[in-house]
Amino acid sequence: MADSQRLYQERVQLYKDAARHRKTNRVVILANIWTWMTYDMGYKLSETLFDSKKMGQVVTKFQEKYQFDFFMDFGGRNPLAISGALGHTDYIINDETANLNINDFSYVEPEDYAEISENYTKFLWTKFLPRKYQKLNEAGAKQKMLNAGAEFGKFVQHSTEIAQTMASDYGVPPAIFLGTPAFWNFFEILFNWLRGIKGLSLDLRQRPEALKSALDGVGVTDFFGMTLKEYRQSSQKGTDPSKGPDVSTYLLGHSILSKKQFEVFYWPYLKELFDYAEEYDKILHIFAESENSRFYDFFKEAPKDHVVIHLELDDMFKAKKEIGDKVCLCGGMPIDLLYNGTVQANIDYAKHLIDELAADGGFIFSQNKMVSYATDCKAENLKAVNDFIREYTI
Amino acid sequence: MVNVQLLTQAVGELDEDRVMALLTEFVAAMPTAEEALSALNACQQGMNAVGELYETGEYFVGDLIFAGELLTKAVDLIKPVLRGEGAATIGKIVLGTVRGDIHDIGKNIFKSLVESAGFEVYDLGVDTSPEAFVAKAREVGADVVGMSGVLNLATAAMKNTVDALKAAGLRNGVKVLIGGNPVNSEVCRNVGADAFTTNAAQGVKICQGWVK
What are the boundaries of each domain within chain B?
4-82, 91-211
Three-class DSSP category at A175:
coil
Which of A197, A336, A342 to mutate against chain B (most B CBs within 10 Å)? A336
Tell me the pLDDT of chain B averaged across its residues: 90
Chain A residues inside the 8 Å CB shell of B17:
none
Q: Give the H or E element holding residue A386.
A: helix A379-391
Phi-psi region of B125 (alpha: psi -120 to 50; beta: other; left: phi over 0): left
- CA distance linking residue B139 with residue B120, whole number of Å: 14
Do B4-82 and B91-211 fold alike per CATH? no
B60 CB within 8 Å of a chain A CB: yes
- Do B63 and A290 lie within an 8 Å CB cutoff? no
- CA distance linking residue B26 with residue B6, whole number of Å: 12
Short-list A243, A217, A219, CA closest to A230: A219
- CA distance linking residue A115 with residue A111, whole number of Å: 8
Q: What is the 3-state secondary structure (H, E, C) of A260-291?
A: HHHHHHCHHHHHHHHHHHHHCCCCEEEEECCC
What's the confidence (pLDDT) of residue A113? 97
Short-list B63, B62, B58, B61, CA closest to B14: B63
Three-class DSSP category at B144:
strand
The CATH T-level fold of domain B91-211 is Rossmann fold (3.40.50)
Q: What is the pLDDT of residues B92-146, one digit of tens each?
A: 999 999 998 878 888 888 888 888 788 999 999 988 999 999 999 999 999 999 9
Q: What is the pLDDT of residues A123-170, one digit of tens each?
A: 999 999 999 999 999 999 999 999 999 999 998 999 999 999 999 999
Q: What is the pLDDT of residues A191-223, one digit of tens each?
A: 999 999 999 999 999 999 999 999 999 999 998
Chain B residues inside the 8 Å CB shell of A264:
none
Which of A45, A90, A258, A370 to mutate against chain B (most B CBs within 10 Å)? A258
CA A162 to chain centre: 18
- CA distance linking residue A351 with residue A345, whole number of Å: 10
In sequence order, the β-bridge partners of residue A250 are A287
CATH class of A3-391: alpha beta
Three-class DSSP category at B194:
coil
Buried b (16+ CB within 10 A) or exposed e, A283-310: bbbbbbbbebbebbebbeebbebbbbbb
The answer to whether A165 and A56 have CB atoms below 8 angstroms apart is yes
In sequence order, the β-bridge partners of residue B97 are B148
Could you tell me the sign of the dihedral formed by the alpha carbons of B40, B42, B48, B54, in that order? negative
**Mean pLDDT to the nearest integer, A109-121:** 95
Instruction: Compute φ and ψ for A315, nearest 5 degrees.
Output: -75, 105
Domain-wise residue ranges, chain A: 3-391
CATH class of B4-82: mainly alpha
pTM confidence score: 0.88
B52 CB within 8 Å of a chain A CB: no
A156 CB within 8 Å of a chain B CB: no
Three-class DSSP category at A64:
helix
- CA distance linking residue A159 with residue A258, whole number of Å: 37
CA B211 to chain centre: 14
Q: What is this model's ipTM? A: 0.89
The answer to whether B144 and B207 have CB atoms below 8 angstroms apart is yes
Q: Does the pLDDT of residue A375 top 90, yes or no? A: no
Q: What is the pLDDT of residues A300-350, one digit of tens each?
A: 999 999 999 999 989 999 999 999 889 999 999 999 899 989 999 999 999
**DSSP strand E in chain B: where?**
91-97, 119-123, 144-148, 175-179, 195-197
